[in-house]
Amino acid sequence: MLSPRFSAALAFAAELHGNQLRKGTSIPYVSHLLAVASIVLEHGGSEDEAIAALLHDAVEDQGGLPTLERIRARFGDAVAGIVAECTDTHEDPKPAWRPRKEAYLAAIPHKSAGARLVSCADKLHNARAILADFRRHGTALWARFSGGEQSAWYYRSLADAFAATGPQPLAAELERVVTEIEGLMASSGD
């Protein structure tokens, strides 16, 4: 069962991300956080992991290290640790996209099991959204991403990294979705 801590984290996530939309859409960003938390819980995640799922983008998108310290004070070291492991940068402006993503990929084998669960759930939800948008918009969808079409390379690399480290069966689902994206890209001539 989830405690009032989860409800507090949900309210905090909504406060932090309430004015944010998913890239290139009119979808409230909080929907992504709810989806990631749902995937974490559906794959056996603990309450701390589900809370971290709700807050996994807070440091990167909503205030950097001071936000991480607010998370630590409100939800404890375990949640803050997972959030920190899931954050690819706390710098503003963000460093260059490719080196930042390469560093994130290199760190996956060294992440805690909880951070790999949250990260893989995050990447799976993102990949599912990319797949749905590819079906609707074709290659034009890449324009909304900082990495453009290199985002396909990143998701293939993520799928490979999680296949090697887990968590399973979540990593297998990420592999399936990424392979489907690659198939659509190949059939569209990219």
Catalogue the active-site residues. 60-61
Nearest partner of 51 among 33, 69, 66, 64, judged by Cα: 33
Phi-psi category of residue 148: left, alpha or beta, with phi > 0 → left and psi -120 to 50 → alpha: left
The three-state secondary structure class of 89 is: coil
Q: By CB neighbour count within 10 A (0-12 exposed, 13-18 middle, 19+ buried), where does 11 fall?
A: exposed
SS3 content of the chain, % helix, strand, coil (to 5): 75, 0, 25
